[in-house]
Chains A and B, each alone.
Chain A
Amino acid sequence: MIYNFDFGAVLAYWPLLLEGVWTTLRLTLFSTVFGILVGAFCAVVRTGGPAWARWIVSLYVEFIRNTPLLVQSYFLIFGIASMGIRLPILLGAVIALTVNIGAYTTEIVRAGIESIHRGQLEAATCLGLSSTQTYLHVIIRPALERVYPALSSQYVLLMLASSIVSSVGVEELFGISNRIQSETYRNFEIFVVLGVIYLLLAVLVRSGFALLGLAIFPRRRTLGTPL
């Protein structure tokens, strides 16, 4: 029995695959935007907030980083529904991914913030910057720039991990592929195609982050060196 590859049978489903790619990208985009907001906010609180707020943020970070994403998604899609709050499945998935990635982002950004030298803050005070200005220009932006490579690979991981929410009924790339597999039984081919698509998507997300980096960090654009 030599396996006969039949990619035609799988590629005939390209409109479905495209739909899956689109859902995966939307999931990634929304959870990236909200994830970075949540992460940056929590990191600021965790490094400079009042003790009770720090305690809440560290509880959130530790709880999320030490439980599986699958369990978190089940909780949001099925757990909350049994309490009577019915989230649309796609929204539930975005919330699950955001909550998850937010915790990881918090830790990464916190590392960036802690790497800002005290001299920088003293210089900001001497220049008469307000505390908001100090936070925005002296702390957050350089901190993000410093941890940017770690952040972008975390978000590529997020894109790959979004395949997990297929098991709570989201028809993203992996879910669609499982459906194609169950119609064609060509599971070998579909997973080869799926691997290639995920690889391309990862390259896309990575390049997106590289371009975004050039746009939001003028220092990097002009000097071209890492901070």
Chain B
Amino acid sequence: MRNLAKILTITAISLAVMGQAATADTLEKIKSAGVIRIAIDLSVPPWAFKDENLNPTGSEVETANLLASDLGVKMEIIGTNSANRIPFLMSHRADAVISALSITDERKKLIAFSLPYSGATSYVAAPKSMQIKTFADLSGKRIAVTRGTTNDADVTAAAPRDAEIVRFEDEATTMTAVVSNQLDLVAQVPTLVDLINKKNPAKNLELKLPLRTAPMGVGMRKEDTDLKEWVDGWVKKNVANGKFQAIFRKFQGAELPNEVIAASQ
């Protein structure tokens, strides 16, 4: 019994010590380690995916590389999925998240966001032949979403009660569900809807109902104020010199939304 108490005390102390080490100056630590660990979900083309040679690429990977090279360190990708992006950050597995992470009030309670560097408007997409004008028309329909995304939250809130929201673990599975004909409707950004149409032209999906334009920021832990300050300056610089616009154009085939540029000037 006394042994047990001793073990518990030692565990508690070492946890406290580890905890303190974690609040040290993160920016300095990254620089001295010479590497920044960035959590990216690599299942979301064109944001982040693996090319034919299995090399990570996409707008998020390029943004992460730009950040690392401007900081003068190496970039290490910490692969994650959509639902684990924030938990990976909170559990110190990654220093920052650059993974199409939309800035939301719920998330702001837990983590800090940089100024937006990217963004996207999501839509409920459905086959062209389907008559969908308002959210009420979703009644009785099955809609694919990725669990834990803003699309999930928006569709769950807006769709009538008898619409069935089918949630998948990551974007790749959501896309598979639609491409394979398991489901017809999906809440997604236009680039991914295009991709579904390319993989299965018979689907003929059309953007039906806009959800929201979500600005995306770099996610960081709240206590890492030094890192956030540096990243905010870095975002402003790269919006001003047009590098973010170029990355967005290259991978998304569209212009960076004006809301994003206005917020980061």
Contacts and interface: CB of A to CB of B under 8 A. Distances in A.
Interface of A: 1-2, 74, 77-79, 81-82, 84, 86, 89, 166-169, 171, 175, 178-179, 181-183, 185, 187
Label chain B's interface by main secondary structure. helix
A76 to B, nearest CB: 10
B11 interface: no
A88 B168 CA distance: 15
Contact of B16 (A2, A169, A187): A2
Contact of A2 (B19, B106, B149, B181): B19
B19 A81 contact: no
Contact of A183 (B90, B106, B166, B179): B106
Interface of B: 15-16, 19-20, 22-23, 83, 86-87, 90, 106-107, 110, 144, 147-149, 152-153, 166-169, 173, 176-177, 179-182, 223
Given A82-B180, A167-B168, 20 more contacts: A1-B19, A77-B177, A78-B177, A78-B180, A79-B180, A82-B181, A89-B182, A167-B173, A169-B168, A169-B182, A171-B167, A179-B148, A181-B87, A182-B83, A182-B149, A182-B152, A185-B87, A185-B90, A187-B87, A187-B90
Given A2-B15, A171-B167, A84 B83 contact: no
Nearest to B182: A81
A181 B181 contact: no
Contacts of B173: 167-169
Contacts of A77: 177, 182
B19 A181 contact: no
A167 B82 CA distance: 13
A99 to B, nearest CB: 18
Contacts, number: 69
Contact of A89 (B22, B148, B166, B179): B166
A166 B23 contact: no
A181 B148 contact: yes
Contacts of A74: 176
B167 A175 contact: yes
A179 B167 contact: yes
B227 to A, nearest CB: 15
A82 B176 CA distance: 10
Contacts of A2: 15-16, 19
Given A167-B168, A169-B168, A81 B181 contact: yes
B180 A178 contact: no
A61 B197 CA distance: 38
Contacts of B19: 1-2
Contacts of B87: 181, 185, 187
Given A78-B177, A82-B180, A169-B177, A1 B148 contact: no
Contacts of A86: 181-182
Nearest to A182: B148
A82 B179 CA distance: 8
Contact of A178 (B16, B22, B148): B148
B167 A181 contact: no
Contacts of B15: 2
B179 to A, nearest CB: 8
B255 to A, nearest CB: 30
A124 to B, nearest CB: 50
Nearest to B88: A187
Contacts of A79: 180
Nearest to B18: A1
Given A89-B166, A187-B87, A175 B181 contact: no
